[in-house]
Amino acid sequence: MIEQVEIPVVFITDNNYALPTGVAITSLILNKKLETEYKIYVIVTNDVTIENKEKLLSCGNKSTVIELIDFNVSILEKYRNPKHSVPPCDLLKFNIPDLLPQYEKIIYLDGDILVKGDLSEFFAIDISDAYLGGISDLPALKWHASHKLLYIKNYFNGGILLLNAKRMNKDNFKEFAYTIKEENTDFRFMDQDAFNFAARDNVIFCHVKYNVMLYNFRLLYEDDLTEFNNHYDTLYNSYNELLDEAVIIHLTYWDKPWKYKGAPSFDIWLPYFNKSPFCNHELQLENA
């Protein structure tokens, strides 16, 4: 008999991100192992339409249950920054352990991702002595020197996280993170800087295959992976090798495949869109 292991996975979406979130969920379910059981939660803001809620729910099947958590984000409007497009609902990452106190460990995923493999090994990573497991954000380190600004040694990307929910609730992490956000209005990113500052050195840095920011990596290093390999302690000879081993591809660029013609990874993203409940939505693709 195959032992079933329930893995809680959380997404957050407003109405603008409902479609890519549905595609991400579709990829997550299609590429799981038979013995892996996901319980998927989608925190939906109050602007998400009934139609999109129904489509998100229909991403599930008999073996994978999806549950929506409604959240009125009007209380977060004070954090909106007109200089950046990221909505304040991203701060709800701080709330996840509090919203799901029945779990000791939780996976969080952004909506602009594709899951190519099973996440049971990622979920099994020991983070008992940390607040979370994350993947180092090399582009942010190089382009923005984010770690230096926050006086930390390394800096994780907030798009894929393995949360130690039990410890975060015990230490009132949510309240601490929101306080940091309120006291540092000059932080560059909506949630990521405050998350890194609050977690500080209580982070387990995981393999880059769980958060492959392919477009950003290529912009940073083109075809020379020497510094990339040194940073991530890997031995890739090419980005194709990295892509082959990728478990999660993070579409970290402005040209999203659901918005622009010729967007990076469009050919990888489109088949999952066509298999998702959103497939009948006519994409209004612009020229990049």
Q: What is the pLDDT of residue 185?
A: 78
Q: For the chain, what percent of residues have pLDDT higher than 90?
A: 79
Q: Give tens-digit pLDDT for 20-73.
A: 999 999 999 999 999 999 999 999 999 999 999 999 999 999 899 999 999 999
Stretch 236-252: mean pLDDT: 96
Average pLDDT, the chain: 93
Q: What is the pLDDT of residue 288?
A: 59
Q: Give tens-digit pLDDT for 98-118.
A: 999 999 999 999 999 999 999
DSSP string for residues in 19-69: HHHHHHHHHHHHTS-TTEEEEEEEEEETT--HHHHHHHHTT-BTTBEEEEE
CA distances from 64 to 29, 149, 234, 262 (A): 7, 41, 34, 33
Task: Please give the CATH number for the structural domain made up of 5-283.
Answer: 3.90.550.10
Residues 6+ positions from 89 with CB-CB distance below 8 Å? 12, 13, 14, 43, 45, 71, 73, 76
Q: What is the pLDDT of residue 3?
A: 47
Tell me the pTM: 0.95
Domain range summary for the chain, segments of one domain joined by +: 5-283
DSSP string for residues in 171-231: TTHHHHHHHHHHH-TT-SSSSHHHHHHHHTT-EEEPPGGGSB-HHHHHHHHTT--HHHHHH
Buried b (16+ CB within 10 A) or exposed e, 37-51: bbbbbbbbbeebeee
Q: What is the pLDDT of residue 79?
A: 85
Stretch 136-146: mean pLDDT: 87
Q: Is the pLDDT of residue 253 over 90?
A: no
